[in-house]
Amino acid sequence: MPSILQCIDCGQQFPIDTVIYACSSCQGLLDVKHDFGQSRTRLGSELFDGRLGSLTAPFNSGVWRFKELIYPGIEDDQIVSRMEGNTNLYQAPRVAKYAGVDTLYLKHEGENPTGSFKDRGMTTGVTQARILGMKRVACASTGNTSASMASYAAHAGMQGIIFLQDQEIALGKLAQGIAFGATCLQISADFDRNLELVRQAGDRLGIYLLNSINPFRLEGQKSIMFEALQQLRWRAPDWIIVPGGNLGNSSAFGKGLLEMHDLGLIDRLPRMAIIQAEGANPLYRHFAGGFKHFQPVKAETIASAIKIGNPVNLQKAIRTIEWTNGVVEEVSDQEIMDAKAIVDGVGIGCEPASACSVAGARKLAARGVIKPGDTVVGILTGHALKDPEATVGYHADSLSDISPAFQNAMLKADDDLDEIVNLLGLHQAKV
Ligand code: F0G
């Protein structure tokens, strides 16, 4: 077997086909570990660059293009893929100016098949479910995981079961879960509680869990780093900035960066900056307190995707911060929505949680942590269409406690040509 499961705390190993989400001895989180072994020397940039633009499965996927680093040793026909990944890396000078940094790239994971980065983790997670012979898969979700899992489960002919909180789920995400035919449970509990519930229900019923505590999810999400670095011609930026909720991405990125460095694909590690919403900031508090005593929080933020108070991947995220000399920052809902308006306003667009990357870059640059001349890659985690209420609410100035600094207010007119012409004349004068 070229791959095994290994506890990040006590090092205990388990066969790769064990259905397990935490170490049975110490409850530590599990890593999927690959033995690159004799093929190491082959795993260079030429191999992966040679597959760019491939029209054939599995290399037409931006995850499976890196198959040797994701899940070597499995048969190609076991893979459940929607040709995820292959997302754009935008150079965004106007957003960079707003953030106060010289060079900002935005990697838009909202361009995945279901509109968020989750598809990269779901192709690997559902592939493992198929390998294990699972018929039912489940997750708790703030919306994007469920949308993605519903799609991949349907694609693979499995039943998807999703645990959702009964309020504040963005409409675009809810609609996807229902449309893709998942069994949708609205529960009067927040995300953190729903995650406990789905773990217990899954154990009792033998349903495969596809939250990011499942290490196969993170193997797919690593590819965001592989692909971003490939797009940068394997030249490491100074900073990678990512929103932090359940901390799956933060964890996956650290592992992926380390593997790339170990294989000589990059010659230095970028620093990671993890950005949390002020109202959902347990990692930020823990970081600020020197990682001494972790306290979950009761989460509240307009960025509903990251309304998470007790992140399951905490220990892996701390490891990422240590490996990359990383930092954690917090941003207010006002800063998130203003940064979103800037990203939206240059025509790229993202959902509120994603805008943490830009709001965080701005704050870290203002504090002098990001230095002039640093190259920054911000991850946009989800598509602008995911959360239309937040966008329309911002521009209509109807969100409580937020005053839209970059408002694009709707104009209204009667069925009267003179009035319309007059209005447009005035508006033109304003821009
Ligand atoms: N951005 C978006 C758009 C998300 O949907 C999520 C997580 C995150 C950021 C945070 O990523 O958990 O890896 O730190 N959404 C999960 C969900 C929790 O259920 O869709 P993380």
Name the DSSP letter for residue 371. Answer: P
Q: Domain 89-115+217-395: which CATH class?
A: alpha beta
Q: Read off the pLDDT of each residue in 361-369 and give the average, rounded to a whole number.
A: 98
Q: Is the Cβ atom of 244 under 6 angstroms away from ligand 1?
A: yes
CB atoms near residue 389 (< 10 Å): 15
Shortest-distance atom of ligand 1 to CA 211: 19
| Residue 195: pLDDT over 90 | yes
Task: Please tell me the pTM assigned to this model.
Answer: 0.97
5 CA distance to ligand 1 centroid (A)? Answer: 24
Residue nearest atom 6 in ligand 1 by C-alpha distance? 305
Q: Read off the pLDDT of each residue in 104-123 and give the average, rounded to a whole number.
A: 98
Using CA atoms, how far apart are residues 106 and 163, in angstroms rounded to an integer?
31
Split at pLDDT 50, 70, 90, the class of 37 is confident
| Residue 430: pLDDT over 60 | no
- Are 343 and 352 in contact by the 8 Å Cβ rule? The answer is no
Q: Read off the pLDDT of each residue in 66-84 and give the average, rounded to a whole number.
A: 97
The pLDDT score that the predictor gives to residue 38 is 75
Tokens 């609609």, located at residue: 175
pLDDT digits (tens, 9 = 90+) for 277-306: 999 999 999 999 999 999 999 999 999 999
pLDDT digits (tens, 9 = 90+) for 302-334: 999 999 999 999 999 999 999 999 999 999 999
Using CA atoms, how far apart are residues 210 and 132, in angstroms rounded to an integer?
13
Q: Is the Cβ atom of 243 under 6 angstroms away from ligand 1?
A: yes
Alpha helices in 157-221 (DSSP H): 171-179, 191-205, 215-221
Q: Is the Cβ atom of 381 under 6 angstroms away from ligand 1?
A: yes
246 CA distance to ligand 1 centroid (A)? Answer: 7
Pairing label, strands 3-7, 13-15: antiparallel
Q: Closest Cα to residue 267, out of 227, 237, 225?
A: 237
Q: Token pair of 109, please?
A: 């994971």
118 CA distance to ligand 1 centroid (A)? Answer: 8
423 CA distance to ligand 1 centroid (A)? Answer: 41
CA dihedral (83, 160, 207, 190) in degrees, to 10, reads 110
The pLDDT score that the predictor gives to residue 229 is 98
pLDDT digits (tens, 9 = 90+) for 244-254: 999 999 999 99
247 CA distance to ligand 1 centroid (A)? Answer: 8
Q: Is the Cβ atom of 144 under 6 angstroms away from ligand 1?
A: yes
The overall average pLDDT reported for the chain is: 96
The domain segmentation of the chain, as residue ranges, is 89-115+217-395
416 CA distance to ligand 1 centroid (A)? Answer: 46
Split at pLDDT 50, 70, 90, the class of 1 is low
| Residue 368: pLDDT over 70 | yes
What percentage of the chain reaches a pLDDT higher than 90? Answer: 95
Q: Is the Cβ atom of 245 under 6 angstroms away from ligand 1?
A: yes
* Residue among 246, 251, 321 whose CB has most ligand 1 atoms within 8 A, to mutate: 246
Q: Is the Cβ atom of 218 under 6 angstroms away from ligand 1?
A: no
| Residue 431: pLDDT over 60 | no
Q: Token pair of 249, please?
A: 């991405």
Q: Is the Cβ atom of 141 under 6 angstroms away from ligand 1?
A: yes
238 CA distance to ligand 1 centroid (A)? Answer: 24
The pLDDT score that the predictor gives to residue 168 is 81
The pLDDT score that the predictor gives to residue 429 is 59
Q: Read off the pLDDT of each residue in 103-117 and give the average, rounded to a whole number.
A: 98
162 CA distance to ligand 1 centroid (A)? Answer: 15
CB atoms near residue 253 (< 10 Å): 27
Q: Is the Cβ atom of 351 under 6 angstroms away from ligand 1?
A: yes
pLDDT digits (tens, 9 = 90+) for 226-246: 999 999 999 999 999 999 999
Q: Read off the pLDDT of each residue in 13-25 and give the average, rounded to a whole number.
A: 97
